[in-house]
Chains A and B, each alone.
Chain A
Amino acid sequence: MNFFCKPSLLALLVLASFFFSFSLLADNSDTELDTANRAYLEGHYDDSAMLFKEIIATRGYSAPLCFNLGNAEAKAGHPGLAILNYERARYLAPGDPDIDHNLQLARKQAGLDPNSYRWWQILLRTASPIAGYLIVAGLALLILALAGNATVDKTKKPLLRRIFRAIFFVGIPVCLLLGFVELCAIGLTNRIEGVIVTKDANLRLSPFESAESVGTIPEGELVTVEGRHNDYLWIEARNHHFGWIQEKDLEPVIAGSFNAKPSN
């Protein structure tokens, strides 16, 4: 074996081990998913929910995982947690008909309005990430067109130069329009939202346990968090009810987002 073979062989080994370990990891995660799904099908819904939570804790969030966890929580009789996970799944995969169906069903079964958003809110939510990526692509195209317009000789390639100019002058209003859509979507989706996960959560007038109750919110309702004071969150419910609610009664749709709200 000559000397030149050794580095090649080494590189091959490294690559092989990388792909092997990757395939092992993929197999392992699939096994976990199968186990959780099997527990669900056998009717062990609490166990299934726990297994899905473990997968999410180790692997991260994905629309199918959140969807499956929502199913397990729904079957286990936890409508609030089910709706929470369907909302997360919808967040990751807007427009997925299965997620929409299960979410609407869970909300109906919890005695809530089947639609947590209006159609234009859903449209903006769906458009938000797309608009963001389109803006990046559009800006890159504008730079390309600008560079092309500056470098191409107008006498030699007038058509190409004309195309660059057209891209530039059409691309700017398109990017502005996308930017407007994105800002609207951010304005809507930037709200910190949570789902009520306990039965008969009490809305209070002040952020104290002894404070007067101004009403209750049903489990599974989606609310907007406007502020916090210690363990209490100032929320607005869908029906424009305002009040303080204990943090334990609420789970954020985007995990950890309640911490982003500064204390009042």
Chain B
Amino acid sequence: MMKILKFRHPELGEWRIKRSSRMSLFAHETLLFLSILALTTTSSLAAATLSQQIDPPEVNLGDQVTVTFTIQNGGSVNVQLPQVDGLQVIGNSNSTNITFNNGSFSSAITQAFALLPARAGDFTIPAFDIHTQDGQTLHAHAMKIHVVGNGSTSSSSTPAPAPAPNPATIPGGPVIIPPGNPPNNPPPDNSGNSADLNGSSTNVPLDANGQPAKVFMIITPKTTDAYVGETIPMRIEFYIRIDVAAQQDSLPTIKGSDFLMNNLSVRPQEDDVSLMDAPYHRETWVTAISAPKNGDFPLQMERDTYWTKPTQNRFSDPFGNLFFNRPSLAHGNIPSNQLIIHVHALPDEGRPANFTGAIGEFKVTATSAPDSVDMGEPVTLHFTVSGEGNFDYVKCPSLAPDPAWKSYVPSSKIDYRDESHTQGVKTFEQAVIPQKNGNLPLPAASFSYFDSTTKHYVTVPVNLPSITVTGTAPTPAPTASDNAADAATTAPAGPKAVDLMPNRVEMGTPQPSLVPVYRQPWFWILQGSLILFLLMGTLFVYLRSRNRPDNFHIERAQNLNSMHQEEDAMSEAVRRNDPEAFFLAARHAVQLKLGTQWRLKPEAITLAEIRTRNASLAETLEPLFNQADEVIYSGMASPGLDLAQWERRVRQEFLQPQFA
């Protein structure tokens, strides 16, 4: 229920009043007040001007002409179009555009008339005067219309006018009222909400009071002359006056079964328009209809509609029904205008053999891939049919019979390019398989349709390239044997064999279901259990290792302590000049050092063990270990043995950290 009064910054230009969606009563009345203010102001500020337009000036008989008058700054104006014999006014509409520009209001009132010629020939709408609200007189010039009879085509080459422009996108533009036949009268509705088209020359239906109907629907097909199966784009406009607007829960439907209609979008295009000075909410659908049989058929739609209906409270309201006047919903079927659609049968004369019912205007292109194949390999043909028409009947271009090619059923895809699904691109993929080798031209292809503009059948040849086919002819299929086992052992007839591999004679291991293992619960339970068990085991091992006493560190500390003690013993032995005690202590210190490093007991560190682990170290330590053995086992030292020098050497070379 958002209401917009959208003002642009005055320094940047004009202020424009717009409404975007459904408007509350308050907002509507505010706008109305502003409109009145604007209209009053404009008349005193600027002179009224008139512009007029006729579109198109030349039409085919049966098609409509729109005459539009736009009065700038003329206040409220009611244009009375002079009656012309042979021209019937089938509808009119008003729209108002108000702008506030650089401190001044301006208004543009557009009044459009839809005219339907009754016969071929030239018509002239005579010049006439338009009197504005503030007393000015505007002079409308005479306008000429040329109507071409059946059997010839107007120079405009447009069989029917384009769908009505949308006033929401063309501010101030005319509201086009449906073409074709005079509107039929929907049944009168006592509620006053249905259209009363009896004897009226306008297609904006009036209620009993002469006011525009609160709710009405207008259908505008692109043409009222069509062929069986042809799709006719059609605009459906549903109008409901703002003050009675209510939420709708249904879509318009076609009355009767003479026409087929594409599905309507659940969300139509919505906007607000002004018709005969009354604000309306409009819902617009663009769809397409088609007729399955020829003849003249009435086309009318209806919609199950809700609208708000004020309910008068039986108690008098001293505040002017401010508190007790509550709206309630009314409900009814609202019919649209009725048109007669002339549906013609397609001519038999000149109908191509491959015509599939496509009507419209189409273009066809084709490609193929690959350029060269082995015999028996498929070539894919890609056809693209684009244009406007009934794509449901557009089939794949037909291939001429060619014994060199075997063709298959094509697949197709449609991409529609407009809302009515009459413009689009349909693509086909068809496989063909060569039956012989060589440079083979692809089969001739063609596409036929009925051109609704020229009213003739058209056959479009589709060019396809040649394909290089390599390989040899298929070998014959293996002969069926009476024995299944024989068949099972029959070998394929070589790598190019094109027949099926023979049946199996073993049943294999049947399983009740094809459900894959990963979709079976036991598989996930098993995996989950194993993962859980593994995680728990890892956690257990980790916790156990944390709680275990660290023997290594204790042992290492003890070894270090012992090493220091042995170093002290070495110093004491040097002081006492006791070689046996010195070498005992020195060798043990080295054993402690290496035992700690290699995580071995000091007693296990022998020269042989050192040699297996580190040969160069063994070479360095060998003099110490030999001297120690000599002194310990002989009980006497060599003469000239300098213990102090040995101590320095042991400390510097063997017990330093870098030594380790």
Contact = CB atoms under 8 A, between A and B. Distances in A.
A112 B411 CA distance: 10
A251 interface: no
Contacts, number: 176
Contact of B411 (A64, A67, A129, A216): A216
Nearest to B407: A111
B314 interface: no
A128 interface: yes
B554 interface: no
Interface residues of B, number: 61
A61 B510 contact: yes
A254 B516 contact: yes
A214 B492 CA distance: 42
B641 interface: no
Interface string B471-499: 00000000011111001000010000011
B440 interface: no
Interface stretch (B186-194, B335-343, B429-437): B429-437
Contact of A102 (B500, B507, B533): B500
Given A101-B501, A105-B498, A129-B516, A218 B408 contact: yes
A34 interface: yes
B503 A62 contact: no
B433 A111 contact: yes
A109 to B, nearest CB: 8
Contact of B516 (A64, A106, A189): A189
Interface stretch (B346-354, B450-458, B523-531): B523-531
B413 A215 contact: yes
B408 A146 contact: no
Given A59-B507, A149-B541, A150-B544, A135 B411 contact: no
A41 B481 contact: yes
B523 A40 contact: no
A215 B413 CA distance: 4
A136 B430 CA distance: 47
A139 interface: yes
A173 B412 CA distance: 48
B530 A71 contact: no
Interface in A51-101: 55-56, 59-65, 67-68, 71, 74-75, 88, 91-92, 98, 101
A187 to B, nearest CB: 11
A199 interface: yes
Contacts of A181: none
Residue of B431, B482, B517 most packed against chain A (CB within 10 A): B431
A143 B531 CA distance: 9
Given A98-B501, A108-B377, A111-B431, A150 B509 contact: no
A8 interface: no
Interface of A: 29-30, 33-34, 37-38, 40-43, 55-56, 59-65, 67-68, 71, 74-75, 88, 91-92, 98, 101-102, 105-106, 108, 110-114, 128-129, 132-133, 135-136, 139-140, 142-143, 146-147, 149-150, 182, 186, 189-190, 199-200, 203, 205-206, 210-219, 221, 237, 239, 241, 253-257
7 contacts: A37-B505, A42-B480, A64-B507, A132-B518, A133-B517, A147-B537, A215-B411
